[in-house]
Amino acid sequence: MRPALILAVVVLGIAGIYATWTHTRNTADMQPSLPGPSAGAGERIGNLERVNPPAAIPDLTVVDAAGAQHSLKDFAGKFILVNFWATWCAPCREEMPSLDRLQARLGGPDFQVVPISLDRGGMSRVESFLK
């Protein structure tokens, strides 16, 4: 056998072993055990940790399509679902119609979906996607 062919077989073998090992490790990490309603502070739920009492989140200010500024304080007393998304993000593009339906069905004085675009292309890119 040629030395280059032997080297290629060894490299591919090592790559296969590594891919199998990382897939097995990552698959095990993705199996969260969801606790019941009695889950306590500090308990892990998948990759999340329950915090009790809930931690305060920093105030966030964003600009809407009309150029008006809004902060999370503007939504005080409401349940909000904040969704950070971008037109270039395939999973984001897939979930946006569902979030739009959720807002249409449940949106009102007590609940609002707040989509926040992370696009750097400006409002024209976002508006063309939303149309």
Render pLDDT for 49-73 as a digit per residue (tens, 0 to 9).
777 777 777 888 888 888 899 998 8
Strand, helix or coil for residue 56:
coil
Tokens representing 12?
């591919």
> What DSSP state is assigned to residue 36?
-
Tell me how long the chain is.
131
Could you tell me the two tokens for 52? 């009790």
Whether the Cβ atoms of residue 106 and residue 95 lie closer than 8 Å to each other: no
Mean pLDDT by 10 residues, the chain (131 residues): 45 46 46 49 73 80 87 88 90 91 93 89 80 79
Q: Count of CB atoms within 10 A of residue 106's CB?
A: 13
- What is the reported pTM? 0.56
Report yes or no: 32 and 47 within 8 Å, Cβ to Cβ: yes
